[in-house]
C-alpha cells in the first residue's frame, strides 16, 4: 500500500509509472488527496476544540480555588458541548481514515524504473539463458506419462480423494519430492537463511499485510466458519512474523517449506496438464527484510542464489524481467526463472524473485528507526527457492533415458538412489 505522503509528494511521477502497469491512478489520487485534505482539516478542528477544553479546564480550576463554585459549575456544563463536538469530529475522522484506506488498497505498487511497458508475458525481457537443452531419444515422454509409467505420481487417485489439481506422490516419486525440499532448504540455510515452519492457515490481517487481500481474494481457499485462509505461499506467514515490529538489525533472512493452495489453477489444455498447474503444491520460499538503501543489491543476491540452485540440478534455465502488464499488484520489480522442459518442449516458470520496496511494510507497519530516531518503513523481498511441481516435471523429463530416469548428483545423497528404473 502506498503511503499518502508519498502520493502527495510524487503524484504526477507515480501516475506516469503506474501506466507501465496499465493502471490509471488519476481519479483515485484526486479522491484520496481530497479525503486526506478533509482529514487534515478535521484534525485541525479537533485540536482547536481540545485546546479550548484545556483552557476552560484551567479556568474551572482557578474558579474552584477562588471559591466561585457556581461560576465553575456553569463552565463545566459548557464543556459538555465541546465534548459532543469532539465525539462528532473523532467519528468523522475515523470514517475519513477508513475511506482513505479503501482507496489506497486499490492502488498497485509503483514499478521500478527498469520495468518496461507491456501487456503480457510475451513482452517480458529475457536477461540471461544458461545450460544446454537436452536432446532426448525418440519416443520421449512428458512428465505425466513418465509419472504413470514409473509409478511416481497418481493423478487419478488425487482426483478421486480430493479433485483435479491434487496429485498423490508414490514411492520414489514421493522420495524425490522430499529430496528436492530438503536440498532446497539446505542450500538456503547454507546461504544464511534461518528456517521456519509456519502454519499453513492464516487470518485476514496476514493476507492483507502481504497484499493477497483484497487483490486476490477469489484465488484463495477460505475457511468460512473460522475466518481463515489456506496460504498461497510461505511468503504470507513468514513476512507477517514481523508485522507491527521495529527492526533493529538488517537483513532478516528467512526460509520455509510449506504446502501452498491456490484456487485459480486452470483445468484445460497442455499448459495445465499434470504438474503444470495445481491447486495444492509444495514450495520452498526465501524472504528478506532489509534497509531501503540496500534492497536492490539484496534482490540481485537473491537472484544469483536461485540461479545457483538450478545450475546444480543441471537444468537449462533463463532469467526474465517482467514487464509492467505481467508484474503483480504488490511488486516493484520481479525476475522470473524458467526451466526448459524437454518432454514438453517449452519453458516452465519455477520461481519469481521480487522486491516490494515499502508496499507490504506500510500495510504491516514494519519499520526501523533512522539515525534521527524517526520511524521509517523497511523493504521486503521474497522468492521461490524453489517451487516443486515444475522442477520435478523438468527433472524427470530432461533425465529420461532408455534405462530409466537419472537423478542429478546433488540429489543422490537425499534420495539414496541414482536412477529410477
The answer to whether the bond into 53 is cis (omega within 30° of 0) is no
- pLDDT at position 269: 55
- pLDDT at position 66: 85
Give residue 144's pLDDT band: very low, low, confident or very high (50, 70, 90): very high
Averaged pLDDT for residues 361-382: 97
Averaged pLDDT for residues 119-129: 95
List the 346-355 sheet strands across, edge first: 125-130, 317-321, 333-341, 346-355, 379-387, 280-290, 252-261, 194-196
How far is Cα of residue 151 from the mean position of the Cα atoms in its chain?
A: 35
Which residues, listed in sequence order, are joined to residue 351 by a DSSP beta bridge? Answer: 337
> How much of the chain, in percent, has pLDDT values that exceed 90?
86
What distance in Å separates the CA atoms of residue 132 and residue 61, rounded to the nearest whole number? 86
Instruction: Give the residue extent of every domain in the chain.
Output: 4-104, 121-420
C-alpha neighbours within 13 Å on the C-beta side of residue 361: 25
> How much of the chain, in percent, has pLDDT values that exceed 70?
98
Architecture field, domain 121-420: 2-Layer Sandwich (3.30)
Give residue 139's pLDDT band: very low, low, confident or very high (50, 70, 90): confident
pLDDT at 30 over 80: yes
Averaged pLDDT for residues 303-324: 98
Place of cell 524481467: 321
Per DSSP, helices labelled H in 66-104 are 69-104
DSSP label of 167:
-
Give yes or no for a contact between 203 and 358, defined as CB atoms under 8 angstroms apart.
no
What distance in Å separates the CA atoms of residue 42 and residue 36, rounded to the nearest whole number? 10
Nine-digit cell string for 29? 489520487
Per DSSP, helices labelled H in 225-279 are 235-240
Spatial CA neighbour of 392 closest among 339, 324, 330, 355? 339
Place of cell 536412477: 419
pLDDT in tens, 330-367: 999 999 999 999 999 999 999 999 999 999 999 999 99
Nine-digit cell string for 156? 487419478
Give yes or no for a contact between 152 and 143, defined as CB atoms under 8 angstroms apart.
no
- pLDDT at position 10: 97
- DSSP helix/strand/coil, 138: coil
pLDDT in tens, 184-224: 999 999 999 999 999 999 999 999 999 999 988 889 999 99
- Fold assignment, 4-104: Helix Hairpins (1.10.287)
Fold match between domain 4-104 and domain 121-420: no
- pLDDT at position 82: 82
> Range with the lowest mean pLDDT among 128-132, 265-269, 285-289, 299-303?
265-269
Place of cell 539484496: 298
- pLDDT at position 267: 47
pLDDT in tens, 275-300: 999 999 999 999 999 999 999 999 99
Q: Note the pTM of the prediction, 2 decimals.
A: 0.92
> Range with the lowest mean pLDDT among 74-83, 133-142, 180-189?
74-83
Give residue 270's pLDDT band: very low, low, confident or very high (50, 70, 90): low
What distance in Å separates the CA atoms of residue 298 and residue 209, rounded to the nearest whole number? 21
What is the pLDDT of the chain when averaged over all its residues? Answer: 95
Nine-digit cell string for 234? 510461505
Give residue 252's pLDDT band: very low, low, confident or very high (50, 70, 90): very high
Spatial CA neighbour of 142 closest among 390, 343, 399? 343
Amino acid at each position: 500500500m502506498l503511503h499518502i505522503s508519498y502520493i502527495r509528494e510524487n503524484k504526477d511521477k507515480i501516475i506516469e509509472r503506474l501506466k507501465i502497469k496499465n493502471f490509471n491512478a488519476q481519479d483515485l489520487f484526486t479522491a484520496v488527496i481530497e479525503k486526506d485534505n478533509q482529514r487534515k482539516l478535521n484534525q485541525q478542528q479537533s485540536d482547536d476544540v481540545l485546546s479550548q477544553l484545556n483552557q476552560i479546564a484551567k479556568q474551572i480550576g482557578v474558579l474552584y480555588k477562588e471559591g466561585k463554585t457556581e461560576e465553575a459549575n456553569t463552565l463545566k456544563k459548557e464543556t459538555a458541548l465541546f465534548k459532543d463536538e469532539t465525539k462528532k469530529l473523532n467519528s468523522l475522522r475515523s470514517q475519513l481514515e477508513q475511506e482513505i484506506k479503501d482507496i489506497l488498497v486499490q492502488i498497485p505498487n509503483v514499478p521500478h524504473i527498469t520495468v518496461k511497458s507491456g501487456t503480457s508475458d510475451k513482452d517480458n525481457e529475457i536477461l540471461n539463458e544458461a545450460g544446454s537443452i537436452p536432446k532426448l531419444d525418440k519416443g520421449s515422454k512428458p512428465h505425466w506419462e513418465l509419472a504413470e509409467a514409473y509409478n511416481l505420481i497418481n493423478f487419478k487417485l488425487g482426483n478421486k480423494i480430493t479433485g483435479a489439481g491434487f496429485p498423490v506422490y508414490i514411492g520414489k516419486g514421493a522420495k524425490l519430492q522430499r529430496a528436492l525440499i530438503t536440498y532446497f532448504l539446505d542450500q538456503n540455510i547454507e546461504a544464511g537463511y534461518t528456517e521456519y515452519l509456519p502454519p499453513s492457515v492464516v487470518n485476514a490481517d496476514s493476507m492483507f499485510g502481504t497484499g493477497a487481500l483484497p487483490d486476490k481474494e477469489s484465488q484463495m481457499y477460505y475457511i468460512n466458519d473460522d475466518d481463515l485462509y489456506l496460504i498461497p505461499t510461505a511468503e504470507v506467514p513468514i513476512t507477517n512474523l514481523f508485522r507491527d515490529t521495529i527492526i533493529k538489525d538488517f537483513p532478516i533472512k528467512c526460509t520455509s517449506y510449506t504446502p501452498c493452495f491456490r484456487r485459480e489453477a486452470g483445468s484445460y489444455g497442455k499448459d495445465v496438464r499434470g504438474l503444470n498447474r495445481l491447486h495444492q503444491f509444495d514450495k520452498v520460499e526465501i524472504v528478506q527484510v532489509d534497509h531501503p538503501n540496500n534492497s536492490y543489491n539484496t534482490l540481485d543476491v537473491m537472484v544469483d542464489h536461485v540461479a545457483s540452485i538450478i545450475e546444480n540440478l543441471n537444468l537449462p534455465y533463463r532469467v526474465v524481467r517482467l514487464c509492467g502488464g505481467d508484474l503483480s499488484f504488490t511488486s516493484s520489480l520481479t525476475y522470473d526463472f524458467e526451466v526448459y522442459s524437454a518432454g514438453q518442449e517449452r519453458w516452465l516458470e519455477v520461481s519469481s524473485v521480487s522486491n516490494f520496496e515499502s508496499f507490504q511494510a506500510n500495510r504491516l507497519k514494519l519499520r526501523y528507526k533512522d539515525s534521527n530516531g524517526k520511524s521509517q518503513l523497511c523493504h521486503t523481498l521474497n522468492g521461490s527457492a524453489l517451487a516443486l511441481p515444475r522442477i520435478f516435471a523438468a527433472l524427470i523429463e530432461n533425465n529420461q533415458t532408455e534405462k530409466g530416469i537419472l537423478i542429478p548428483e546433488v540429489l543422490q545423497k537425499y534420495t539414496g538412489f541414482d536412477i529410477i528404473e
